[in-house]
Amino acid sequence: MSTDRTPRTLGLILAALLAFGQWLPQWTLFLVTIALAKGLVVLGLMILLRCGLVSFGQALYYCIGAYAAGLLGRLFGLSDVFTLMLAGMAAAALAAFALGFLLARYRSIFFGLLSLALSMILYGLLVKTEALGSSDGFHVLRTTLLGIRPADPWVRYAVLAAAAVAATAAALLVHRYLATPLGKLAPAIKDNEIRVEYMGASARHAIHVKYVIAAALAGLGGALAATTVGHIDPEMAYWTTSGEFIFIAILAGTGSVIAPFLGALVFGIIQTVAFDVSPNTWQMVLGSALLVVIVFLPNGLWSLFRRRKAA
């Protein structure tokens, strides 16, 4: 651990994705882009997990991001992928800033369940809002990139490239943030909050900041998912979506900012393969995978890399 390898690794992954992405088959492009989107959400979850908070309502911001992106296209005809991502991020961060005043007071299971309640309220509202297509949702405009309309075979690659750039930037920023004093407060809050207060730091303030960051990342991921899938519906705010994110977070582990993306990719692959092999029992496969990881790799898939390095 003498030198920080994370930025270099991230750069290499980005370069590889940009260089080889165009030769990947379309379905892989889709899989990787969705994994990047979910990875962003999980990156936010990881920040919260580091201080011992598990949000069962991260789907709230995922959904807000997606709907913000979709509405921009629907109301103003905007379809530039970077604009949409920024909008999703801003909308989610704003909502989190307001809700954070309430949520930063809660810990452990109450934090989780309150955030779950909030996301279910959004779900209920969206299902009953006919202007937004109620439970069917609506289609998102075809993506453009910085004013250019990529030709059909290139759309997926363009979105992937945008997603990869955004994800790398986000991962680097979070990596930086984790090294700041505020970022380093997280494990301290997890261990013993009273002592944190004795040291003169405000746990509530730190959690509020982390909550907003996590939400911004989730909004970014949501906007990205909206442009990738091309369709959004209230299901994105349902608690099972949040469950999926936590699933990925545990699968990946909190060891590094790269872990969430790896976890999301592995999750996507397991899900796709399980659907393919046994369409009726894919939940069983997922559940078993989660159990196996919790039992044998308590620190997530990321610990595999750690161990190899140490050996």
Partner 1 sequence: MKIVNVTHGSFYALGAYAASSITGALLAQGMPPSLSYAVLLGSALLVTLVVAPLIERGILRFMYAKDEVVILLITYALFLILEDVIKLVWGVNPYFIAEPYGLLGSFDVLDLTYPYYNLILVGVAIVCGAGLTWLLGSTRTGKLLVAVIHDTEISRAMGINVERMYLFTFTFGSLLAAIGGAFTAPTVSVVPGLGVEVIVLSFAVVVIGGLGSLPGAALGAVIVGLVRSATIHYLPQAELFVIYLVMAMVLAFRPRGLFSLAEARKI
The pattern of x and - marking residues 173 through 192 that bind partner 1 according to CB under 8 A reads -------------------x
If one asks whether residue 112 binds partner 1 (CB under 8 A), the answer comes out as yes
Query: Do 37 and 222 meet the contact criterion of CB atoms below 8 Å apart?
Result: yes
By three-state DSSP, how is residue 101 classified? helix
Cα–Cα distance for residue pair 53/30, rounded to 1 Å: 31
DSSP assignment letter at 148:
B
Residues in the interface with partner 1 (CB under 8 A) total: 43
If one asks whether residue 26 binds partner 1 (CB under 8 A), the answer comes out as no
By three-state DSSP, how is residue 147 classified? coil
If one asks whether residue 125 binds partner 1 (CB under 8 A), the answer comes out as yes
If one asks whether residue 199 binds partner 1 (CB under 8 A), the answer comes out as no
17 CB-near residues (< 8 Å, 6+ apart): 32, 160, 161, 164
Which 224-243 residues touch partner 1, going by CB under 8 A? 239-240, 243
Query: Do 226 and 70 meet the contact criterion of CB atoms below 8 Å apart?
Result: yes
Residue (16 or 294) nearer to partner 1, CB: 294
Report the candidate in 273, 260, 267 with the shortest Cα–Cα distance to residue 302.
Answer: 260
If one asks whether residue 110 binds partner 1 (CB under 8 A), the answer comes out as yes
Tokens 């990047």 identify what position? 36
If one asks whether residue 284 binds partner 1 (CB under 8 A), the answer comes out as yes
What is the closest distance, in whole angstroms, from the C-beta atom of residue 117 to partner 1 in the complex?
4
Binding site for partner 1 (CB under 8 A): 54, 102, 105-106, 108-110, 112-114, 116-118, 120-125, 127-128, 192, 194-195, 239-240, 243, 246-247, 250, 280-284, 286-288, 290-291, 294-295, 298
